[in-house]
Amino acid sequence: MTTLTIEIPEKAGKTLADLVEQLGGKVISIKKDKETKGEKKKKQVLDDLEESVKFVRLHQQGKVEAKTIQELLNEL
């Protein structure tokens, strides 16, 4: 028997699963994509912001050294 992994819109999932079973196949699992692209991007922005705040706090405590504006511009 062949195993096939596919990605389809959520609304077509049940219909396709029913069709596979009617053809004598077996549906092993149905996974729903819990995060949309917008939610993933929002999570990434929040994670990046949290990391930046942690860095600023460490800099204020003297535990890390931040680059100067001139150093940042020289990297460009």
- Which tens digits make up the pLDDT trace of 45-62? 999 999 999 999 999 999
**DSSP code at position 44:** H
- Which tens digits make up the pLDDT trace of 1-57? 777 777 888 778 888 888 888 998 888 877 766 667 778 888 899 999 999 999 999
Cα–Cα distance measured from residue 67 to residue 15, given in angstroms and rounded to the nearest whole number: 56
Q: Long-range pairs for 63-69 at CB < 8 Å and ≥24 separation?
A: none
Token pair of 1 as six digits: 């028997």
- Per the rule left: phi > 0, alpha: psi between -120 and 50, beta: everything else, 3 is beta
Q: What are phi and psi of 38, to 5 degrees?
A: -65, -40
> Is the full-model pTM beyond 0.75?
no
